[in-house]
Structure 1
Amino acid sequence: MERLQKIMAQAGVASRRKCEELILEGKVQVNGETVTELGTKADPEQDIITVSGKPIKNEKKVYLMLNKPKGVITSSSDPEGRRIVSDFLKGVNERVYPIGRLDYDTEGLLLLTNDGEFANMLSHPKYHVPKTYLATVKGVPHGTDLDRLRQGIMLEDGMTAPAEVEYKDVDPDNKFAVITITIHEGRNRQVRRMFDAISHPVTRLKRIAYGDLLLQNLKRGVYRHLTPDEINHLKQMAKAAKPKANPKAKRQKPDT
């Protein structure tokens, strides 16, 4: 017997957090009876579990890395008709969902899976798997400005964890700078807000690494499957990561 949300996540319904929401919304039934309590347990081998009237089934686990283009929504649908990440997943028969998000104007490395446990491990704030971005900003921040980011900077939702920040390129006319920044949290539009806080807004943002997993030369709009070694390494990195922020922080959707 296992918790219902865990069974659902393992079956690829959604992340564990989203599965909990589905239960609370009364969209899940076990043997014909609606379940709304998160502590409910079931037997995936014997019980009939349905979500919105459709029985769940154990799908083949899929782990993908997509080089998300700018101007694409990290969502399964968009009422405005804009492009969504699933538009770039031709040939993937399983239903996958993103691990965290990249906002509309951000490009780069996006992980997708139907393994809810894996997604929860990488997105839960207690694990703090580092994410590295290449940020082009207006003007050239002084070294003291970057030191503020390295020490942690106050945003409207609290102090950030220390970031790793380095110059990558500097315009000779001081019109822009390209900076690598590694963060260990997943607050909404965090990188952009951090640079706004030092008065050097981001004009282009690209995620280039997730833990030790590198985007490298994967073409824009193209995906590939992660190797077993890459999957296992991410799992081990998440388990070994030490907290770098308030352990009582609320779970948030990883974003930039």
Structure 2
Amino acid sequence: MPERVQKILSQWGIASRRQAEQLIVEGRVRLNGQVAHLGDKVSLGVDHVEVDGKLVQSIAAPTGEIPRPKSLYFLLNKPAGIVSTCADPQGRSTVIDLLPKALQQGQGLHPVGRLDVESTGAILLTNDGELTYYLTHPRHIIPKTYQVLVAGSPSSAVLRQWRQGVMLEDRNTLPAQVKVLHRSDAQTLLEVILVEGRNRQIRKVAEQLGHSVLRLHRTAIGDIQLGRPPVLSGKYRPLESFEISLLKDQFDLTSIRLPAEIKEQSV
């Protein structure tokens, strides 16, 4: 049965489903020599798919089904200057490039959410599409912990305002936990725990409150921490089985009815 191009790209580890759609929109994907479009479908063992001029490895399977790699879960410590995507049109290094060659293709690995290019720290990589959907959906709350170095010394009133919520792009941010770890006249190290992940939220809020961010490092995603055991910058480790259970226990993945397009992107 023919399958959509973005599904093929996701399940063969070229990009996540969302990123594969972006590749198609940017005209970087060709189907049988022609520029592919969203909605185009591929017949197993018949059609040829190229990304940036490179032929995607054979997609034929003896059963006629698309092979599904084993579910993988990693915690990576992202360095500054690395983008949180599977591929970058500007040619910058991505979080996938930090993995061994054997994991970079054919496994369907993709980052869960993003850290901006200047930020560092914890980011999850997986090929479990269902888990990615739940972890990134706005309805589902999983706290993320950051160490944030800001310029100056925020007053008690500023910190209280940050904790209560700040009007950002026409709506208030959700309440946050903000704790001072170290303070001087020139700069202050804060621990910030968020239950939402709007684009560059910490940087924008800090700037709005008069204290620009000098350094931003994510230390934990829920109960999964970079420091236990330590993961050096640019390195990764597989999640322990109990950590995978911690993530999945946030949501009852067996009882919730998934949209068809989300089921299809699970790998």
User: Considering the TM-score relative to the shorter chain, is it more than 0.5?
Assistant: yes
Q: 1:115-134 to 2 correspondence within 5 Å?
A: 115-134=128-147
Tell me the equivalent position of 2:188. 177
Deviates more, 1:205-214 or 1:140-149: 140-149
Q: Look up the SS of the partner of 1:237 in the other structure.
A: coil
Decide which of 89, 92, 95 is 1:85's aligned counterpart: 95
Q: Are 1:69 and 2:79 counterparts?
A: yes
Decide which of 207, 212, 216 is 1:205's aligned counterpart: 216
Q: Are 1:101 and 2:114 counterparts?
A: yes
Does the CA-based 8 Å contact 1:127-1:239 persist in structure 2? no
Could you say what the CA RMSD is over the residues aligned between the two structures, in angstroms? 3.1
Where does structure 2 lack aligned partners over 5 or more consecutive residues?
25-35, 51-55, 60-65, 254-267
CA distance in 1: counterparts of 2:83 and 2:221, whole angstroms: 19
Tell me the equivalent position of 2:33. none
Question: Residues 29 and 81 of structure 1: is their aligned pair in 2 closer, same or farther, counting only changes over 3 Å?
Answer: closer
Does the CA-based 8 Å contact 1:150-1:164 persist in structure 2? yes
CA distance in 2: counterparts of 1:51 and 1:203, whole angstroms: 43
CA distance in 2: counterparts of 1:135 and 1:236, whole angstroms: 29
Q: Look up the SS of the partner of 2:138 in the other structure.
A: coil
Deviates more, 1:213-222 or 1:8-17: 8-17
Where does structure 1 lack aligned partners over 5 or more consecutive residues?
33-47, 241-256
Deviates more, 1:181-190 or 1:80-89: 80-89
1:232 positional shift: 1.0
CA distance in 2: counterparts of 1:84 and 1:16, whole angstroms: 16
TM-score, L = length of structure 1: 0.75
Does the CA-based 8 Å contact 1:163-1:181 persist in structure 2? yes
CA distance in 1: counterparts of 2:189 and 2:48, whole angstroms: 49
1:98 positional shift: 0.4
CA distance in 2: counterparts of 1:142 and 1:18, whole angstroms: 41
CA distance in 1: counterparts of 2:78 and 2:117, whole angstroms: 10
Aligned length: 222
TM-score, L = length of structure 2: 0.72
CA distance in 2: counterparts of 1:204 and 1:127, whole angstroms: 27
